[in-house]
Amino acid sequence: MAKVKTAGLGYPRIGEKREWKLLLESYWGGKTNREDFLAQMKELRLARLRKLLLSGIDFVPVGDFTLYDSMLDHSVAFGLIPERFSGLASQDALDLYFAMARGATGAPASEMTKWFDTNYHYLVPEWTASSAPSLASNPWLEAFLEAKRELGIVGRPVLIGPYTFARLSKGIAAGQLADKVRALVPAYIQAISELAEAGAGWIQIDEPSLVTDVPEEHVELLQAVYGQIKAAATEVKLQLQTYFGPVAHLEKIKLLPVDGIGLDFVRDGGANLESIDNSGWPADKVLGAGIVDGRGIWRVDPNAALGKLERLGKNVAADKLIVQPSCSLLHVPVSAKLESTGDPVVRGAFAFADEKLAELVALAEAWEQGTSASPLLEQNREALAALQAHPGRNRDVSSEVGESDRNARAPFEERRVLQQNKFKLPPLPTTTIGSLPQTSDIRRARVDLRKGNIDQAKYEEILREKTKLWIERQEELGIDVLVHGEFERTDMVEHFGHLLDGYHFTGNGWVQSYGSRCVKPPVIYGDVVARDPMTVADSVYAQSLTSRPVKGMLTGPITMLAWSFYRDDLSKAEIAFQIARALNVEVLRLEEAGIAMIQVDEPALREIAPLRKGEWKEYLDWAVGAFRESVGGVQNETQVHTHMCYCDFHEILPAIEAMDADVISLETSRSHGALVEALRDEPYANGIGLGVYDIHSPVVPDTAEMLAVIRSALSVVPSERLWVNPDCGLKTRGEPEAIAALKNMTEAAALARQELAAAGK
């Protein structure tokens, strides 16, 4: 058999110990000068490439490293600079780049949203009527030449394809997509031609939008676009890469004028594999076989992976097959070798980015040699068998999907009257989303506790002092519904995972969320079960400090699922209902302790919806059911809140209504009021807060800006049902800017109330 090649599609950029994140924040904070920043970033890029080279894979990806986000890189490279940054366009390129990412005075940051159904956020490209893309710079050429010059690596440059880039952009009117895709073609041809001239043999062009709903006429568009690109760059080979699901119209897509196509055989539900079984594979094309899960953290099952290769081998020649991950390894931690704590059986089943590269090489060699045995693959079999036999996976708990009878409450209007009589809130009540700034003293106390420098009692004393300070501050600011601040929480999912059975925690399992923001997702390895009270003591203490209502704060079952690495032997619905039942125990504990407002956040509800809308109903039915299960059994007077951010809410408004929360707070600032327009067509019947400012930007908007947002919201939401709040939690903001922004927010709410009173409303 000919040698079976292997490829990486992308690799984490953050470094084993988040060196990338720390360097960025040091530069932004003025602690590292520009020259040192760029030099150290280069060292991180090269260290990353050395690891990829030493892994033994044949195709090393280059150009996927970025200073913030790859979609932002493409926008800048194509000269698609939003007009509000025109004042910076003639100034420094790096300053402009970071201004688009983080905002600048008078210029809000680019909109941010989730990359398909992953937990990574990208910056949304913006088009205007006058947008005319051209190749302003070629970062992929720079990356290719650097790898070749510094390390002798002839890498495979990675670009996001024109179809996906345009599909994920904003400002493209209905019917204009094809024109915008065609407008991008000259820039792509120039970039690819320059790469070919520099010696690139293969170029990877990512088109994950092909796994979404693709209209039939778009296939013709793709045929024309890739025909143009290939005709202009005949000397280089193009690998069209898809991931995250089965490809729409695969029978036609596999005939596109490219040299190879990469398919996901992990999250395709078997559809991609079945299509090749039924109709074969073009003899002139390479197949990139994504058989190692690029998004999960478990070792690959050798039997399943080799079985897929065996089936593919019936239709694809060995020299036309590349063994690769299902997607970029951006979505998993860097290396499991740093894991040394926690249950050894669970961590023994881990495979992070580095381990997955080794698995690719081992699988390719085993299949090439016609064997299923190798030391690494045998280790995988043993580790996975031990995990499946773990007592934590074999508890006597229900994972049944379905709501209990306890979920029934009175209709919202009846509840609203009862709750208003109880809380006596003013019109346009103000609140925050939950978390307040976690300053250096809190982080230092957490480190001191971990190192044994202080005991648990002292740590809790520090947390309570901070809670007391912020209860007083919230009262001084005039906020109507308070929060305790969540100072005890490192992360809104990780915190609760520590307090439930069925979770494992990594020591260094960091992944990038957005920009320099990294998270360390917990691992759901077993059955999820409630233990002791999780939030009652903190909530009761905060409520004892004030006569104003204090919200109890929990993370909802869908978000607990979505923002974790979860087991793969149960369906997502079964896991979500296990979590919901565990959370419901805490909800009822809070109510019994006198906490009359309880917020169960579900920012992830939309983001893990299937990529094909035909599958949404089934998903939303069980997702909404899990949320309702989590708050089932509460009294009508208890006000249930929830929160969502950074998604296309208008697409799921019926599901949001079906959740039947008394109040939902939604992000609207980076979407620039798109939700307001959606609410004109489809009004929301319950209480709603449309975020009045973007907490992810360090820029503090003034009172007038927030008042304008409130006025806009009042055009679609009656004043008796509208709340005023920031977009998201304030954990990552500094205290001065948080206080300044909240002061402006409450002043804006007060002015809006005066306007309502003057209008007799």
Return the CATH fold of 5-64+126-330+346-391: TIM Barrel (3.20.20)
Average pLDDT in the chain: 94
Phi, psi of 689 (to 5 degrees): -120, 120
- For the cut 90, the answer to whether the pLDDT of residue 214 exceeds it is yes
Is 486 one of the annotated binding-site residues? yes
- Report the pLDDT averaged over residues 18-33: 97
- Report the pLDDT averaged over residues 612-628: 95
Place 90 in a pLDDT band, splitting at 50, 70 and 90.
low
Angle at 602 between CA 601 and CA 605, to 5 degrees: 175
The model's pLDDT over 456-502, given as tens digits with 9 standing for 90+, comes to 999 999 999 999 999 999 999 999 999 999 999 988 898 999 999 99
Place 562 in a pLDDT band, splitting at 50, 70 and 90.
very high
Is 119 one of the annotated binding-site residues? yes
404-410 contacts, C-beta under 8 A, 24 or more apart:
404/629, 404/632, 404/633, 406/632, 406/633, 407/628, 407/629, 407/631, 407/632, 407/633, 409/634, 409/636, 409/660, 410/636
Is 479 one of the annotated binding-site residues? no
Instruction: Tell me if residue 118 falls in helix, strand or coil.
Output: coil
CA separation (Å) from 296 to 364, 378, 394, 521? 20, 20, 21, 11
* Strand spans (E) along 310-396: 321-325
Instruction: Tell me if residue 462 falls in helix, strand or coil.
Output: helix
**696 tagged catalytic:** yes
Query: Using an 8 Å Cβ cutoff, are 554 and 598 in contact?
Result: yes
Is 114 one of the annotated binding-site residues? yes
CA separation (Å) from 511 to 120, 152, 517? 9, 29, 9
In this prediction the pTM is: 0.90
Is 296 one of the annotated binding-site residues? no
The model's pLDDT over 713-754, given as tens digits with 9 standing for 90+, comes to 999 999 999 999 999 899 989 999 999 999 999 999 999 999
Return the bridge partners of 707, or none: none
- For the cut 90, the answer to whether the pLDDT of residue 534 exceeds it is yes
Is 21 one of the annotated binding-site residues? yes
- Report the pLDDT averaged over residues 248-263: 97
Is 498 one of the annotated binding-site residues? no
DSSP for 538-607 reads HHHHHHHT-SS-EEEEEE-HHHHHHTSEE-SSS-HHHHHHHHHHHHHHHHHHHHHTT--EEEEE-TTTTT
* Strand spans (E) along 145-259: 156-160, 202-206, 237-241
Is 217 one of the annotated binding-site residues? no
Is 721 one of the annotated binding-site residues? no
Widest CA span in the chain: 83
Question: What is the reported pLDDT for 603?
Answer: 87
Question: What is the reported pLDDT for 113?
Answer: 86
Same fold, 5-64+126-330+346-391 and 417-439+470-758: yes
Q: Which of 683, 667, 672, 675 is closest to 718 using CA atoms?
A: 683
Question: What is the reported pLDDT for 490?
Answer: 84
Is 647 one of the annotated binding-site residues? no
Domain boundaries, the chain: 5-64+126-330+346-391, 417-439+470-758
**DSSP, res 240:** E
Cα separation, 91 vs 383, in Å, equals: 55
Cα separation, 399 vs 287, in Å, equals: 38
pLDDT over 90, % of the chain: 85
- For the cut 80, the answer to whether the pLDDT of residue 649 exceeds it is no
Cα separation, 667 vs 665, in Å, equals: 7
Higher pLDDT, 29 or 494: 29
Question: What is the reported pLDDT for 332?
Answer: 98
Cα separation, 12 vs 61, in Å, equals: 11
Classify the phi-psi angles of 441: left when phi > 0, otherwise alpha if psi is within -120 to 50, otherwise beta. alpha
Q: Name the active-site residue from 218, 504, 641, 696.
A: 696
Tokens 């520009």 belong to 34
Q: Which of 265, 135, 272, 116 is closest to 194 using CA atoms?
A: 135
Question: What is the reported pLDDT for 220?
Answer: 96
Give the least confident one: 398-402, 605-609, 626-630.
Answer: 398-402
CA separation (Å) from 468 to 456, 471, 481, 482, 544? 18, 5, 15, 12, 10
Is 737 one of the annotated binding-site residues? no
The CATH number that domain 417-439+470-758 falls under is 3.20.20.210
Query: Using an 8 Å Cβ cutoff, are 291 and 326 in contact?
Result: yes
Q: Which two tokens stand for residue 228?
A: 């143009």
Cα separation, 716 vs 375, in Å, equals: 63
Instruction: Tell me if residue 655 falls in helix, strand or coil.
Output: helix
How many Cβ atoms sit within 10 Å of the Cβ of residue 440? Answer: 8
Question: What is the reported pLDDT for 403?
Answer: 61
Question: What is the reported pLDDT for 1?
Answer: 58
